[in-house]
Amino acid sequence: MRLIVWLLVAVSLSALHAVSSPRGIVCDKVYRALSTSPSVNLLIQLDGTAPGVAQATQSINAAGPSCNKALHVRRALQRHCTQSQSCVARILASQPSCRFRAYWIANAVYVQRATLHLVQRLSECDNVSRITLDPSTKLHVHAKDLAISIPSPNALKYAWGVSKIGAPDVWSSGNFGQGVVVGSIDTGVLHTHEALAGKWRQDHGWYDPAFQTKVPNDANGHGTHTMGTILGGNGIGVAPNATYIACLGCPNGTCTASALLECAEFLLCPTDPDGSNPDCSLRPDVINNSWGGIGANPWFDDAILAWRQADIIPVFSIGNSGSKCATANSPGDSSLVIGVGATGSGNVVNGDDSLAFFSSRGRGTGGVVKPDVAAPGYFVFSAVPTDNSSYQYWAGTSMAAPHVTGAIALYLAANPQATYDEVYEALKASANKTALVPTKQNCAGVSDQIYPNNNYGHGRIDIARAVTSSAGGSTAPVASTGAVWQRAASAGVILQAQVFLPDF
């Protein structure tokens, strides 16, 4: 009898679809999933956070520039979303078999085990704008464990990307990124790795949305590799005296929207590992995001706006969907973030300034130039969690973005009061354009011999020049004084890690 009832429900789905969502707010994929399953996991998007953002702005202005901006943002968004989500909350409270979590950072609600009947009821709430399956995106790694011939581990000092962007020249002034806190949404971090030991801020410094583990861990490797490039020791990191906090938003390499939003809230207002005791004063200064999905999708913009209001600088990789034009991924293609493309050639270990073939090209959302800047992203040598002393060469814009995040940490150590706009302008103005290899590809009609362009953005970052300029020094490009350092990587074949772009 149950089978007969379920078949009747399935057969009637097309008719129900025609009448159940007059505003077209229920994604077709929801109906298709419900045709083969009695329940699905959903993400309900409501009418945005603009009123909450306005309230936060008023509150911050009234409190003054030295206030805890993140706390004001959190309170204002919570007030707005509590009111905005009231209809959805009432319906879900009457469904004991459903589990749900409301997000104040993006005015959204994640629902587990939603039935067709529940979807219909939720779609009738006036301020519900979209009901989708919980979408997922992928990490921007192009290849792992690259097998190559490398110099003797003791012959050279620094990873090539670290040297290429001028980090050792900044270190010579005593600036190693000390005092700056970096945030990460990724696959986690092996906090005991020799290159990362002692760099994790234990106070409100780790959150695992799925399992609430107590210390940073990484079963994939991507998060450990990116964090190593940001602040690792042993010559692999750009800002080795910075500290980090992290959120496991991409377990096993898949990042669901629900996990990413939960991590976004944690990084705006960090908590204990079990999600208790929020303290917004402990938010990071800059957040690395080496992940993304199909372009021109603004689903994460509300979270980014909240970070920006709290004076957090968002850095995103632009994607590995090149080499065609108009392949920039979201959120990296948003005008609200620093989107990063990758440089480097597959023919050399010490990295020339050519555009990596896989690096996505612009334009970005709304016609803005993307990427904003480029950074080393091929044959990037960093830590992996095989054990506490393992390293590998990886490739991807996932590897480029951490160079920019680490560079921003160095800039903020030298300029602690710098705003997002000031950091962005410094990276733009100091970017190296003369060494870059033209592709003869005119994305969106802009030659990549004219800057900014939709291949390299404003150029490849030069943090030595940026920091020198901020101190009133010369704006001429600074020649790197450090030799490139490499360490023996484990042997292996090139793994072409395919990047899947979800249809949100």
- Supply φ then ψ for residue 258, to 5 degrees: -60, -45
Q: Over 80: is that where the pLDDT of 14 sits?
A: no
**For residue 503, what pLDDT is reported?**
27
Which tokens hold the place of 63? 């409190």
- pLDDT tens-digit series, residues 371-409: 999 999 998 999 999 999 999 999 999 999 999 999 999
- pLDDT tens-digit series, residues 458-503: 999 999 999 999 876 543 444 443 334 333 333 332 222 322 222 2
Which tokens hold the place of 220? 């994939």
Look-up of token digits 């960090």: 270
Instruction: Give me the chain's average pLDDT, please.
Output: 87
Alpha carbons 257 and 133: distance in angstroms, whole number: 10
Share of the chain above pLDDT 70, in %: 85
- pLDDT tens-digit series, residues 86-120: 999 999 999 988 899 999 999 999 999 999 999 99
CATH T-level topology, domain 143-468? Rossmann fold (3.40.50)
Global pTM?
0.89
Where exactly are the structural domains of the chain?
28-134, 143-468
Instruction: Given the residues 80, 140, 191, 222, select the one marked as catalytic.
Output: 222
* Beta-carbon contacts of residue 399 (< 8 Å; ≥ 6 apart): 141, 161, 225, 226, 229, 290, 342, 376, 377, 378, 380, 382
Alpha carbons 29 and 39: distance in angstroms, whole number: 13
Confidence of residue 60 (pLDDT cuts 50, 70, 90): very high
**For residue 414, what pLDDT is reported?**
98
Instruction: Given the residues 21, 142, 186, 359, select the one marked as catalytic.
Output: 186
Provide mean pLDDT across the span 278-290: 99
Burial of 247 from C-beta contacts in 10 A (0-12 / 13-18 / 19+): buried
**Of residues 23 and 247, more confidently modeled:** 247
Instruction: Given the residues 20, 321, 359, 398, select the one marked as catalytic.
Output: 398
The reply to whether 222 belongs to the active site is yes
- pLDDT tens-digit series, residues 195-206: 999 999 999 999
Alpha carbons 179 and 51: distance in angstroms, whole number: 34
The reply to whether 193 belongs to the active site is no
Confidence of residue 19 (pLDDT cuts 50, 70, 90): very low
Provide mean pLDDT across the span 355-368: 94
